[in-house]
Structure 1
Amino acid sequence: MADRPILFSGPMVRALLASTKTQTRRDLTKTFARFPQLDGYETNGTLKQIEGRSVPCVEFVHSKLGLWDPETNPGGRSGWYVPLKAAVGDRLYVREHWRTHAMFDDIAPRDLQARSIHYCADGEINSGKHRQAMHMPRWASRLTLSVTDVRVERLQDISEQDCVAEGIEWVTRTSSGNFYRNFDAPEIPIMAYGAYRSLWNHINGSDAWDKNPWVVAYTFSVQRGNIDQIARAA
């Protein structure tokens, strides 16, 4: 078991706090940003433990021969193993956008110690500079996620049930079923699959859903509390 950080936006933090979010999907193709062309790379989604790595990996293989330059890659490698962020049993401490009092603005996060902080997901305040989630110290995290399942799939293969588990915002219920927030047209709530599609595009860009990337889907249980405080209380 390992402890690792994970970033969430304000709306997703609120969904975690409301116990409506028990899954998150992360785009695996961002791992390949150094490669200009990803067409043709496929995976069966099987996770594999690689020696020397503390998390499972998933293999992506290119279906076309001759992709690699024999001079720069004489082995003719046509695929690679991509390490995932976490494994079943790992704990993730949530990092989110935050502020401290203005008097601490010149203090780096690593030097703040246990200063009083404000979580932006709880509502904005006009005090202190905005601090990015990636700079939140471990001691400041207030949510701990225990990973219970990890799988790799295409984004658009998500089920209606999993869309709800992603923490989409419920709006209303009719005889046709539950309807959720639609980021494309807020005045027109839609059902879970469409709502999650609109949320994904809202976060990742207007054409992100259509790209249908490979994603890793983490399922987890949520505990309110700092990861180290929870461990001491156990």
Structure 2
Amino acid sequence: MADRPMPFSAPMVRALIEGRKTQTRRIIKKPAALDALNAFGPQFLIKPGNADLTGYSPGDRLYVREEVRFCSQMDEIKPSKLSRHEPRVYTADSMLYEPACMMIEAGKRRPPMFMPRWASRLTLLVTEARVERLQDCSEADARAEGVIAIGAEESPDPDERSFVWAFSQLWDDINGPGAWDANPWVVAVSFTVHQCNIDQMPGGAA
């Protein structure tokens, strides 16, 4: 079991809070080993939860990193140097958190990658991690990614009413044009969402 950060965009943070997102897919950066195993047949692919290649295992705890704003008077101070008692605004839903003092004026936007562990308000408990090609994503999987499909009354094209289509558009928005068509190896991580800081969760890194 391990603790690690995971960044999310504002729309996906809202999906986590609303209970629509219970899966995420991340590109495997070193797919050569997977290509080699796959050449021998599907039975040689790695088993679900094999942390050596997926990087994730059931029981791992992921603290969500998201965009946040601290007081403007702290704009020149790195987030890692700030006190956990600093007031802050989570930009995904404009939630204001004032643990010890009031927010005077919200400062600059801090990208998710710079969020300290103590500032995270969402924790994901991994229940499954499996390796697959991106386009193996099913309708149920795409829906669990938190996307919203277009209603039948809004589009005559059946493809545009599917969750997979909506997820493919989101994937290209995040990773660039043609990213979906590239069909990379990904790790599909399933989890339960807990609306609390990781250090308020029972258990810890082994």
- Normalising by the smaller structure, the TM-score range is 0.7 to 0.9
Q: Structure 2 counterpart of 1:192, which letter?
A: F
Match of 2:91 in 1: 120
More helix by share: 2
**TM-score, length basis structure 1:** 0.71
Q: Distance in 2 between matches of 1:120 and 1:214?
A: 31
1:4 and 1:93 in contact (8 A); partners too: yes
Give the % identical residues.
Answer: 47
Match of 1:193 among 140, 164, 170: 164
CA RMSD of aligned residues (A): 2.8
Query: CA 1:194/1:170 → structure 2, altered by over 3 Å: closer, same or farther?
Result: closer
Query: CA 1:119/1:102 → structure 2, altered by over 3 Å: closer, same or farther?
Result: same
Match of 2:183 in 1: 212
Q: Distance in 1 between matches of 2:87 and 2:37?
A: 46
Asked if 1:139 is matched to 2:118, the reply is yes
1:4 and 1:86 in contact (8 A); partners too: no
Query: CA 1:168/1:3 → structure 2, altered by over 3 Å: closer, same or farther?
Result: same
Q: Which has the higher contact order (CA 8 A, sep 6+)?
A: 2
Q: Distance in 2 between matches of 1:191 and 1:135?
A: 34
Q: Distance in 2 between matches of 1:47 and 1:159?
A: 19
Q: Structure 1 counterpart of 2:183, which letter?
A: N
Q: Structure 1 counterpart of 2:35, which letter?
A: Y
More strand by share: 1
Match of 1:228 among 160, 182, 199: 199
Question: Of the two, which has the highest radius of gyration?
Answer: 1
**TM-score, length basis structure 2:** 0.80
- Alignment of structure 1 residues 45-194 onto 2, 5 Å: 45-47=45-47, 56-58=51-53, 84-114=54-84, 115-123=86-94, 127-172=106-151, 190-194=161-165
Structure 2 unmatched ranges of 5 or more: 39-44, 97-104
Structure 1 unmatched ranges of 5 or more: 33-37, 50-54, 59-83, 181-187
C-alpha distance after superposition, 1:2-52 (max 9, x if no partner):
111111111110100000000000011x346xxxxx7x9344431499xxx
Q: Distance in 2 between matches of 1:173 and 1:159?
A: 19
Give secondary structure in 1 for the equivalent of 2:142: helix
